[in-house]
Structure 1
Amino acid sequence: MTTDAIALSADLIRCPSVTPEEGGALVLLGELLSEAGFDCTRVDRAGTPNLFARWGEKGAARSFGFNGHTDVVPTGDTAAWSRDPFGGEIEEGILWGRGAQDMKTAVAAFAAAAIDHVRDTPPDGAIVLAITGDEEGPGRDGTRALLDYMADQGEAMSVCLVGEPTCPEVMGEMIKIGRRGSLTFRIEAQGRQGHAAYPHRALNPLHALVDLLGQMTAEPLDTGTAHFQPSTLQVTTIDCGNPANNVIPARATATVNIRFNDAHSGASLIKWASDLAQTIARESGVTLTLTPDISGESFLTLPGPFVDLVAQAVADETGTVPELSTSGGTSDARFIKDHCPVVEFGLVGDRMHQIDEQVPIAQIATLKQIYARILKDYFA
């Protein structure tokens, strides 16, 4: 008898676990894993639900980890859905619902694969499942809390696989072996309000702000590195809250987001932007204040035995040799990389976060087979 990853996926989708609500998803998984012999602990922090589950001895010489999340983004306009977003309906080989791709199905697949593996071929080592309810939210008390708990309790993963959807169009075509870093600047320009016809009596903060944004976007940050695409910088909002066309505002703000590769660090980019701002502030008289927020540094798991093992399992089960990529946004792998080598592999992600999120159930079955092969080969 095998654990049905498709039925478990549907059950998880029926749990309305929009961040930060647990919705019953971690309760369901905790009960299932406990019955299979896993030691399960809720590691809730600051209202964020998390689950740590381990089969095998603490401190085992070899410990394979899976990481994923059961929280989902809001549904949007539910009337625009053709199915109940929390109905977990299966029709004509398609599973519908929020989390169908991102990523309740991957959690179901690795939980099912782990349960079957320890029942049928108990490994010489440990299997750890670190599942959070805060990946789609701030990320402060999710996987970070689980890693803090592991450090306090002497728990460890030798390697970790994150089940985020990684394939653009075809199952098996891509593994993520790293991610670019993400840095957001919130910029405030403070000048002096006045009449637009008498600019000498005012100090326009928008001119200085536009000058800064122009210099930040004038040239590419880089042309890419050996394993990373070029870094990107995007201005995402500019605002001064001014409804009048004849008033120079006193204050203006902007937000800039940078996705950076390993040619940079968060600290080096903060210095670069701060130096530009100081020069413009000195020349213009406008006060420019930059507030940076680094959500993660870039990282890379170099190709080697672990990456090769995952790539070979994907190729064996799908017939597709996966590309080793660092593209896309951020994930909780950015936290795990400080604990152990980490890669990401999951479903095709072409419908994640969309209305009518859905996935062919055949992909879920294949994903479970891939995870099962990875466990078999790792503990061989």
Structure 2
Amino acid sequence: MTRPHQPAADPASILRDLIRCPSVTPAEGGALDCLERLLEPRGFRCVRLPFEAPGTERVDNLFARFGTGAPHFCFAGHTDVVPPGDEASWTVPPFAAETVDGVLYGRGAVDMKGGVAAFAAAALDYLGARGEAFAGSISLLVTGDEEGPAVNGTVRMLQWLRDHGEVPDHCLVGEPSSVDRLGDTIKIGRRGSLNATLTVTGRQGHTAYPHKALNPVPGLVRMLDRLASERLDGGTAHFEPSTLAITSVDVGNPASNVIPERATARLNIRFNSEHTAESLERWVRDVCEAVTGEMGGTLELAFSSNADSFVTEPGPFVDLVAAAVGEATGVAPDLNTGGGTSDARFIKDYCPVVEFGPVNKTIHQVDERIPLDELVALTAVYRTLLERYFDRFSAGGAAG
């Protein structure tokens, strides 16, 4: 890795301030206040965007933009974090933001206050160097709802951006994408996710007289076997094969001599661009209805999905991000679509988006932490990206 440029704004100081804000979803905890105090005096127009919906918690969000011209580049991320778990198990208190042997500990250090601190520092450093010569726009889209239901955060913010003419031309989400070392992975897409609940209702009875009952368990088991045994696809150029995981089977039956009336199973399908949530729903329904026709009982199905698969195809923008990562880290990044979901799944409906951030080894764990030299190096990547981006797209290059 090349020696990183030392940013004018200290990402470590920013990160410490953010970690010390206990912003466990959906609490804002002072984290957005911290960013607003940092950005507004340096010329960013900051807009707080609190949203709420029936049956959900109110969530505070922040949109901060420097400049009004094109092109408009956006860094997106979240300051909400998962609960710390047993605080006694931590090497240092999870919200103390203490450094041990050059490593900064704290909940959110990697997922993803580290990314937020790095891109805030990189933006301030870049703008400070460019001064009045800068004619484009840099924005930060920061939500407090990524680790939660994701209802009152990025989704609502993007609608607000659309309605107010603030939609960016390109976006980078600072999620922890790197696997073994900083720079080894850029996420250019994500798989979709579909949850399904299968319930088979039969007729309760005594196990000594099974002919007088209708046992729902064999039918449910046959459904699960057929679903789990089918190869959904062979993968694509950018995606691994789709997968189906059975997550629970429950009959709620404490007695060994009673055939239960009802049996329920849950499963999750992570799918690539060969499928949609709707096409997979039809497939699950067809398989389950066929088994019901063979074995009897009453079938109930329930589905939920808030993530379709997507990919930002390699092209000028993806190539530019990869080049910036390579220049700043000396690592040739893999273009990857693995892992779970992120808010990029919403942003892709508005502009091209990729994800790049720190090593994800300790996310959601006790002793979540980031080496300070990695944080500085990440800031250098984002700083290099801004230089390349505005040199490339301010000159009228094609988006992609």
Q: Establish whether TM, by shorter chain, passes 0.5.
A: yes
Cα distance, 1:120 vs structure 2: 2.2
**Structure 1 equivalent of residue 203 of structure 2:** 192
- In the TM superposition, structure 1's runs of 4+ consecutive aligned residues that sit over 6 Å from their partners are none
Q: Alignment identity in percent?
A: 53
The C-alpha deviation readout for 1:300-335, integer Å capped at 9, x for no partner, is 101111111111111111111101111111111000
**Structure 2 equivalent of residue 313 of structure 1:** 324
User: 2:95 and 2:333 mapped to 1: Cα distance?
Assistant: 32
SS in 2 for 1:73: coil
User: 2:344 and 2:74 mapped to 1: Cα distance?
Assistant: 12
Indicate which of 21, 36, 41 corresponds to 1:15: 21
1:95 aligns to 2:104 (yes or no): yes
SS in 1 for 2:367: coil
Cα distance, 1:253 vs structure 2: 1.2
1:64 aligns to 2:73 (yes or no): yes
1:83 aligns to 2:92 (yes or no): yes
User: 1:118 and 1:289 mapped to 2: Cα distance?
Assistant: 57
Letter of the 1:376 partner, please give it: E
Indicate which of 102, 113, 122 corresponds to 2:122: 113
Cα distance, 1:222 vs structure 2: 1.2
TM-score of the aligned structures, taking structure 1 as reference length: 0.98
User: 1:252 and 1:21 mapped to 2: Cα distance?
Assistant: 38
Gapped runs of 5+ residues in structure 1? Answer: none
Letter of the 2:26 partner, please give it: P
Indicate which of 286, 301, 323 corresponds to 2:312: 301
Indicate which of 29, 36, 42 corresponds to 2:48: 42
Cα distance, 1:136 vs structure 2: 0.7
Indicate which of 212, 233, 242 corresponds to 2:223: 212
**Structure 1 equivalent of residue 152 of structure 2:** 141
User: 2:61 and 2:295 mapped to 1: Cα distance?
Assistant: 50
Letter of the 2:382 partner, please give it: Y
Q: Tell which deviates more after alignment, 135-144 or 338-347.
A: 135-144
1:175 aligns to 2:186 (yes or no): yes
SS in 2 for 1:324: strand
When the two structures are aligned, how many residues end up with a matched partner?
Answer: 378
Cα distance, 1:10 vs structure 2: 1.1
Output the aligned Cα RMSD. Answer: 1.1
Cα distance, 1:44 vs structure 2: 1.1
**Structure 1 equivalent of residue 234 of structure 2:** 223
**Structure 2 equivalent of residue 279 of structure 1:** 290
The C-alpha deviation readout for 1:163-200, integer Å capped at 9, x for no partner, is 00011111110100011111111222211111111112
Cα distance, 1:287 vs structure 2: 1.5
**Structure 1 equivalent of residue 274 of structure 2:** 263
Cα distance, 1:140 vs structure 2: 1.3
TM-score of the aligned structures, taking structure 2 as reference length: 0.93
Indicate which of 238, 257, 268 corresponds to 1:246: 257
Cα distance, 1:219 vs structure 2: 2.2
User: 1:44 and 1:188 mapped to 2: Cα distance?
Assistant: 38
User: 2:164 and 2:17 mapped to 1: Cα distance?
Assistant: 31
Gapped runs of 5+ residues in structure 2? Answer: 1-6, 53-57, 392-400
**Structure 2 equivalent of residue 355 of structure 1:** 366
User: 1:99 and 1:61 mapped to 2: Cα distance?
Assistant: 32
